Amino acid sequence: MSTELALVAAKALPALSGSSLTYNPEKNVYLTLGYTSAAGNTYYRAIRLSKRLAVYYHIGEGYAHTFLNGITLFCWDGQKAKIIAQKFWGGCNWRCFSEQFAKEQSIMMLKDFLTGQAKALGSHVSEQQMLSFSREMIEETQRKQLV
């Protein structure tokens, strides 16, 4: 890659270039560079990708716990990522981070989005089919993608 192209890529795709993003192969997740608050908590995003979805876990690390502040689901609209669902926990409703809890919340968020889309299109898809499809889509973001 030429130096000029590397500079363009770094400016045009900052979340996917440079040292602001690292990959954890053990967890199969991309991690953004975190920041530390005045209270001493560190906040960052853990990102999982598939061909159709991006799942962002908004994570915080305090002195005693790693916690889940929220989840954002994105789809690709042909040109850019588009938010399709968000859920946040905060204040006294914070959640200790659990991979299983985050996965199940992501599945339910995707199912709710797809159910709304089916309704808007006048289609009827059973609750079980929608849940099964949503589970598969979220699990696809957790599998290692071969390039």
Domain ranges of the chain: 13-142
Q: What is the pLDDT of residues 64-106, one digit of tens each?
A: 888 899 999 999 887 888 999 999 987 667 788 899 999 999 9
- Of all residues in the chain, the percent with pLDDT exceeding 70 is 84
Say what the pTM is: 0.81
Q: Please choose, from the candidates 58, 56, 63, the residue with its C-alpha nearest in 3D space to the C-alpha of residue 84.
A: 56
**Predicted local confidence at residue 104, as pLDDT:** 97
121, with CB counted inside 10 A (0-12, 13-18, 19+), is exposed
CA 56 to chain CA mean position, Å: 2
DSSP 28: T
What mean pLDDT value characterizes the chain? 84
Report DSSP state, residue 45. E
Can you say whether the dihedral through the CA atoms of 141, 120, 72, 64 is positive or negative?
negative
pLDDT, tens digit, 9 for 90 and up, residues 116-138: 999 999 988 899 999 999 999 99
